[in-house]
Chain A
Amino acid sequence: MSAEVTTRTQASEGTRQPFGQRVRDWWNSRSRLEQWLMIIPVVVLVYLLPVMNFFPLSTEPWTDYELALFNAARLGLIALGLNVVLGQAGLLDLGYVGFFAVGAYVAAIMTSRDSFLTDPRYSWVVVVPVAIAITMVSGVVIGTPTLRLRGDYLAIVTLGFGEMVRLLADNLEPLRGNRGFQDVGGPPGTYANGSPIFTQGDGKPWYWLTVTFIIVILLLIGNLERSRVGRAWVAIREDEDVAEIMGVPTFRFKVWAFVIGAGIGGLSGVLYAGQVGFVNNQRFDVVTSILFVAAVVLGGSGNKLGVLLGALVISYLPDRFQLAPEYRFLIFGIALIVLMIFRPQGLLGARQRLLARGRQAYQRLVGKPEPVATESALIDSGKGTNA
């Protein structure tokens, strides 16, 4: 067997590393300072996108360009949250739209004049933490019973819970069903002339606000991933039983993934409700949930930047190319299928760096950037476990 192993090693050394891996190696071997120097212009560019309203970026005349950008960013935020649940911990949650709905409804109840609260004029600055807290609690409530299930069973039950949230909105009188809540509040702030900054017509401030949230959450989640929590999630995703007998409190970490994901979903619900200014029971169906999952899977489950890209593709492209609106979803569907054939791991595949301070540790150990075997399961995370 040693002979067999040797030949295989030689073979894999002979083949060229895939492009993505070479990019990653190159990136990992830069110093922190160099990395930041390259990140900053990209971030500036992202912030400048709304003012670059010209060909080929613009989505006009079909869709308002700034609102299209806001919607893409909002879906990006959702994808980041779902990525914690689905990409990191490997829990297939088909009811994620439920958390989005909870966030939107909390914002509506706390700020709309249609609310059953006697004085529903809470400041948006208060609404955000309250909404996040309430969605996180709902994550615990939904997660505690369901996360004892695994795989397909978990998917079915979460699907049911997502529907339950929608049906509650349909049928509970205080939630006003189809009539919904008018005049949901947004963030405070006015221009010099006294007109409010955050209005329904102007997507720019909403986009900038959402991008800022995304950056903050990227930093927070990035730190979590590199911690013991992140390692536990990956272990659970790879093999839950083995994770447990290695001493990982699997149930607790699964609930945590659910709760953190829920909080981010709630936040994007608040942003959505504020921008649209109106919340009713129409936008929280299963199809929306599947769209969220599609953004994550398409972009590369487990890869933060990948899921952002996936969200951009799913939200921006249909807005950009509306030449034949009646074929829009047909083209979209075909594009998804083609992508799944050629990139089953998503646009950007996942590669977790699990070691705490992994970069430095690898540099010390082998004197070069952390390599991963080209046939690594993390690169092709669509495959099952080993034989």
Chain B
Amino acid sequence: MALLELHSVSVAYGRIQALRDISLTVEEGEIVTLIGANGAGKTTTMKAISGLVPLSQGSIEFDGADISKVRADLRVVRGICQAPEGRGVFPGMTVRENLEMGCYTRRDRKAIAEDFDRVFELFPRLKERATQAGGTLSGGEQQMVAIGRALMARPRLLLLDEPSMGLAPQFIQQIFNIITEINKQGTTVLLVEQNAQQALSRAHRGYVLETGSVTRASTGKDLLADPAVKEAYLGVA
């Protein structure tokens, strides 16, 4: 049984159909990536999974239970946590307070302390900046906060929306290394990316989204080798 299953999900903003009949699965322990151009529906898919937009059709199953009608905050309790697009750090909270917001739904103090250590180990920079306000960090540091904060929820499924957006090249490499590391530590990752090259080479499987529909689905390697994908997303003619 897959950890996450989307069954022909459609989402509409008013009369504009943002997602049409999307079906995808994420197995426990995988990194799955969604690639696609601007406006293909990647972020909307993420929002549908985390519960910020209602479905107009279809259903979402997490860990065998239908969560289509479950409130967003309760999905966090079930084990889905997202690092939102554009990072979404709480600008006025310190780094530490931002991370504390990640474990808002948890009460197991001892495990929380362990997770703080784990996040500070993954992102030593955040420890240095623990008492600095989130809004004053650089873009890369804010991305670290967003990922670290989502990890503090100890999710079973980590949703990452464009973690490389607006980052310097050497930093992109570092973020992707960390994502791989997080996955190795046992967290399933669903990754939305425009940086198809990096995303596909790291992912076990990938889906290609075009104007609200899934047009291709395969393993990361196959998609990397796919001539159509190459042309459209990898900039190789």
Contact = CB atoms under 8 A, between A and B. Distances in A.
A355 B97 contact: yes
A251 to B, nearest CB: 8
Interface residues of B, number: 42
Contacts of A234: 90, 92-93
Given A1-B140, A246-B76, A247-B153, A385 B91 contact: yes
A241 interface: yes
Looking at A228, A247, A250, the one whose CB has the most chain B CB atoms below 10 A away is A247
Looking at B76, B77, B84, B136, the one whose CB has the most chain A CB atoms below 10 A away is B136
A58 B114 CA distance: 59
Given A238-B91, A245-B50, A377-B91, A232 B133 contact: no
B62 to A, nearest CB: 14
Contacts of A378: 92-93, 133
Looking at B72, B97, B135, B149, the one whose CB has the most chain A CB atoms below 10 A away is B135
A75 B38 CA distance: 51
A104 to B, nearest CB: 36
A372 B73 CA distance: 29
B110 to A, nearest CB: 16
B92 A352 contact: yes
A243 B131 CA distance: 20
A245 B105 contact: no
Interface string A343-355: 0000000001011
Nearest to B107: A228
Given A241-B88, A242-B88, A242-B90, A248 B100 contact: no
A354 B97 contact: yes
Nearest to B50: A245
Given A241-B84, A246-B149, A386-B89, A376 B130 contact: no
B48 to A, nearest CB: 12
A381 interface: yes
A231 B92 contact: no
Interface stretch (A28-36, A190-198, A363-371): A363-371
Contact of B100 (A355, A370, A372): A355
A246 B159 CA distance: 12
Contacts of A362: 131
A246 B101 CA distance: 7
Nearest to A253: B73
B76 A245 contact: yes
Given A243-B101, A352-B92, 19 more contacts: A231-B97, A231-B104, A238-B91, A238-B93, A241-B52, A241-B88, A242-B88, A244-B52, A245-B76, A246-B102, A247-B76, A247-B77, A355-B100, A362-B131, A373-B131, A373-B136, A376-B133, A377-B136, A386-B135
Interface of A: 1, 4-5, 228, 231-232, 234-235, 238-239, 241-250, 352, 354-355, 362, 365-366, 370-373, 375-378, 381, 385-386
8 residue pairs, one from A and one from B, having the closest CB atoms: A247-B76, A247-B105, A376-B133, A377-B92, A378-B92, A242-B88, A377-B91, A238-B90
